[in-house]
Each structure stands twice: as structure tokens, then as C-alpha cells.
Chain A
Amino acid sequence: MSAALELEAAPALEVREVAVHFSGLVAIASMSFRVPEGRIVSLIGPNGAGKTTAFNVITGFLRPTKGSVLFRGTDITRLTPDRIAALGVVRTFQRTSIFAGCTVFDNVLTAMHLQGKAETWAALLRLPSARRETERQHVAVREILEFVGLTHRADELASNLAYGEQRLLGIAIALAASPKLILFDEPAAGLNPSETEEFMAVVKRIRDRGVTVLLVEHDMRMVMSISDLVVVLNHGRIIAEGPPEAIQSNPDVIRAYLGQGVKRAQA
């Protein structure tokens, strides 16, 4: 089933037999999956299945014990998070992660770091190139704020935003790094239904811009309605992989994890 999808597009991300052990504890036994270019792929599984660990490995925050991670054919397993981000793999965090003491505008401007080149001497001499770069970035920041719908909050301190707005700001920050592959770690956690709806629209628009999306999420309704492909993780192993319809009827998945969620998703 998934074979058809994988043939259509070369994988943006390939996780090969990754294992993570924390001293004696096995967080991920052996995990392999592919994220096709330009798709929304969801990684699901019960709490403690190793989803966030997988994210930390992919984005370089954690070194795997075994295995490798390839982004567009390049091995990124041993790179630091900032180098991985420079290649175009950008994540959001499970707990709200923003630059709380800065304005919303400055949050996004700061995250444009990779799009800039101005170094210390250019800043000290106020070189015209640095000034033009800043002007370009100001325009880009406004576009991103417009895209996630935070334009009216631009001058507010990030710490003053409502929870849902802070989650949106987290997405804006990730987008500002101009990702080719974006990883969302439980983006809908704590959002109310209308905010979730809004968020799903944003994710689809991100994909329509040509950005590949990898999603970890507990909200089954959301996962089933926006994913092109779903990967199910349980006890540190992949137990199923395929389009949402196939996952919903997979007996292993239902037994391991979905239960009530399936009925709700089908309703």
C-alpha cells in the first residue's frame, strides 16, 4: 500500500534501523521509515512509544546508539542541530518553545538567522548590505506573520500571547528558518477544536508550498484527516505503515493503540 506512495516520490527523509538506548533502557529498538517528498506523514503511537526520541534523533539533539538518518540522501546522523537546520530540517517542540522575552516580530526575525549573512564586522560598520538584508527580512517576517495569522500581535511580547497563539508563533519561528522538511511535535496539544481546525489548515498550506511535513500527534481526528501516510510506533518498533484508511483497519494498530480513536475518527 505504502509502496505506491513511495514510488511516486523519492524520500525526503529516510530513517534506517535507528536504535536509541539510554544506558539499560531501550527507547527505540529498531526503527526504519521513509518520508516521501512533499507529503504530510504522521508518526503515531502510545505515550512512551519513542516518538519524541525519534524527533530528537532526526534533528540532531540526540545521537542514536545505532542506525542512520538521511535527508535527501545526505547522512545527517552525526550533525549538530544548527547544521541540520541549515540543511533545511526544522522542528517545533512539544512544550511551547518561543523567545518569551522578545516581541512576536523579533521572534520571527531572530529565526531568520539562516537567511542572513551579516556577520559581526558588517553589523559594527552598518554596511549597506547588512541594512538591505534587514529590510528584506522585515518584509519576510510580515509575510510569515500573515501566513499564520499573527499580524495583529506583531508588537506584543511573546510571553503575553494566549496559549494557542504561542503555538502558532512556534510554527512561525520554524517557518522563518525556511525548512524543506518541517517536524511538528504534538502541535495540537492543548488546543481547542477551532484552534485545531485552524492549525490543520496551516499545515496543509505549508505542504502546498512544497514543504514536507512530519507530524507527531495524538489527536486522531487530525492525524487521519490530514496525513498522506501514517507510521505507527509501539514499544520502540514500527508496527504498521500506510495510508490513513489502511491504518484504521489494521488489527495490530487497533489492538496496540487506537481503540476508541478509530470509531471517533470514522464518526
Chain B
Amino acid sequence: MTTDRMTTDRMTGPLLGWLFVLVMAVGPLWFGDLYVLHVLTSTGIFIIGAMSLNLLLGYTGQLSLGHIAFFGIGAYTSALLALGFDLDLGGSEPVVFGPKPVWVAFLGGILVAAFFGFLIGKLAFRVRGAYFVIVTISFAQVARMVALNWVDLTEGPMALSGIPPLSVWLPGQGVVPLYAKEYNYLIVLAVAVISFLVIQRLVDSRVGRAFVALRENEPLARSVGIDVTRYLVVATVIAAGMAGAAGGLYTHYIRIVDPDVFLFIYTVTMVIMVLTGGKGTLAGPVVGGLLFGIMPELLREVARPEVQWIVYGVAMIVVVFFVPRGIVPAVGGLWARTVAKRERPASATLVAGKETSA
């Protein structure tokens, strides 16, 4: 599977990518196991988050360690809009917002998350590297504090519950809520595919090249007229909106949301997915996400919890140690050498023998 995704990146292109999507769309439904479906749905939601993080970390080179904040803001906004809420703004009467249709709520979650992405991007005006990391971590902590303590709005640690699932309008039947796992899985898959296409089109454009220029050499980028601050804001807005979409999917799938969605460990999980898969590659977050989304579930059946965590940690170290640039670039390099070897069998054996360890 990794080979397929890798090739999507460079060679045979979209065909294998769509084949992968088709297999992911039909396979699990045909298999029919609800537990497998649940694992793949949660993994898919995380992969969308990891893809959005990759846009910042992999392409603009800025590490956002508060990325889960955008996910959580998307989740809470979408939940609140769908449930309806009162806002006490200090006047005599609280402002009442009635429940909105779920898809409107979902879009609202994306927009609000994107707005906060805009603020963070602006705030990070002159802040790079370690300072950008600190700004984003603090932001996620503040978001968690707000979710915990603004009890009137968020129910605090009691959590928002009874969130309606995503729905679909069918002729003759009106709006039908989609409780079944199969539908949720397919919606997550669709959003993941859209997110992938958005990032693919973006990075292969003037805008995406400006992102990469900021990552590679900021003074040089400025010297050829790239307004790096502006493009950092563009990247943050898109990444935040995408993470907000993942949060919205989460909220309407799990149908309960509490302040723990802002936990630091979730950001770390996304960072691990991006780094092991290969930052700055399109397929990296997908590969890393599948690996670290599914592995814990596979281990749960065969090992005790402490053993699970040890295996998880060892797997991470092995990946970082042997393929520091990530799985996708490593497999890509191996593939390129295999092709070269096939074309020039005599001279290439030496090269392959020397470099396979890389």
C-alpha cells in the first residue's frame, strides 16, 4: 500500500491514488466489521488533521504544536451551532441562537477555526521557529481553559452531549440523520479526499511554491518579492479550516465533545503521523496516519497495555532512526533506485548495494 501511495506522489500518478480511494471506499464496507469501521473512521479524522498540520509543518516549515486547538474549535463550534446555545453578553436578556442544520454547523466550525488560524498567523507576524511553537502551544492551552471554564457555553467538564449526527436530504424522505457507522466512514473518506486534493493543488502552484520558499530560505524568498508573512497567514488559515473540518467530523460522529479534545497528546499524535510518514510529501500524513492510527488497535488485541505503549514507542524510534525523512521519501528513493537499476543493470548494482540502508 505504501508503494502505491508513494507512486502517486511522483510517477504513475492519480490512477493508483484513485484506486487506493476505491479500495478504501469499498473494502471496509464489504468486510462489514463495525469495529474495523470505527477504527478507520477515527483514523481518517486524524489523517485529515495530520494533512492540515503537514501544510504548515511540511510546506511552510513552521511547527504548530497547538494544532489540536483548531480541531477542538471546529468540534465545539459545530456542536454548539447544531445544538443551539445562549450567549450572556452582559445585557438583561441572553442572546439565543437556535439549533442550525448540521451541515451549516459543520461549515460554521470550519469558518471559525479558519478565523482563529488567521489570528494566529497574524500574531506570528515576526515570530518564527521556537517562538511560533510557543505561541501555538499557549493558544491550545488557552482554548482548553476556555472550554473547561466557560460552563454556561460549553458545559465545561460535563461535556456537550446529544450532538446530532451528520444528515442527508433524500427526495421523498426529507432530512435523514446518518447514525450508521458506514455513512460516517464514507463522509470522512470524502472529506479526506477533498482535503488531499486541496493540498495537492495548492502546493503545485505559485502559492505553494511561496510556502516552500519560506521553509527553504526566508531572506531569499523576501529578496525575490515573496511577502512571506502574507503566505504564512494563507497557509495557517487553510490548515486551521481543514483541522476545523476534522473536528466537525469528530463531533458529529462521536456526538459528545469535552475539553479533553484540546489535550496536547493529540497534537503530538498528529506530529508523529506527519514526521513518520514524511513531512512535505502529499502521501506522508496518509501513510503515517494509517500506521499510527491502526497500530494501537491491532496491538490492543494481542498485548497488554504497557506492552502496547512500548511497541508503539519502539516503532516510532525505529522509523525516526532509520528513515529520518519519513517513510514516503525513503520508499520513493528506493523506488527510484530500483527503476534506475532496471534501466542500467550493470552499473547500478553497486549504487543500490551501497545505499539501501538509507
* Residues in A lying within 8 Å of B, measured CB to CB: 59, 61, 80-82, 85-86, 90-91, 93, 97-102, 106, 109-111, 113-114, 116, 118-120, 122-124, 126, 130, 133-134, 173-174, 176-177
Contact = CB atoms under 8 A, between A and B. Distances in A.
A177 B204 CA distance: 19
Interface size class of B (residues with CB under 8 A): 20 to 34
Nearest to B220: A97
Chain A interface, >50% SS class: helix
B107 interface: no
Most buried by B among A86, A99, A110, A124: A110
A177 B224 contact: yes
A176 B223 CA distance: 11
A98 B209 contact: no
A85 B209 contact: no
A173 B225 CA distance: 11
A123 B201 contact: yes
Contacts of B220: 93, 97-99, 173
A177 B217 CA distance: 15
Contacts of A134: 205-206
A59 B222 CA distance: 10
Contact of A101 (B207, B209, B216, B225): B216
Nearest to B238: A120
B210 A120 contact: no
12 contacts: A61-B219, A85-B222, A86-B225, A97-B223, A113-B209, A113-B224, A119-B206, A120-B202, A120-B238, A123-B205, A124-B201, A130-B205
B232 interface: no
Contacts of B202: 120, 123-124
Contacts of A80: 222, 227
B242 interface: no
Interface in B135-186: none
Interface in B183-219: 198, 201-202, 204-210, 212-213, 215-217, 219
Contact of B205 (A82, A100, A102, A118): A118
Contact of A82 (B201, B215, B222): B222
Contacts of A177: 223-225
Contacts of B205: 118, 122-123, 130, 134
B154 to A, nearest CB: 32
A103 to B, nearest CB: 11
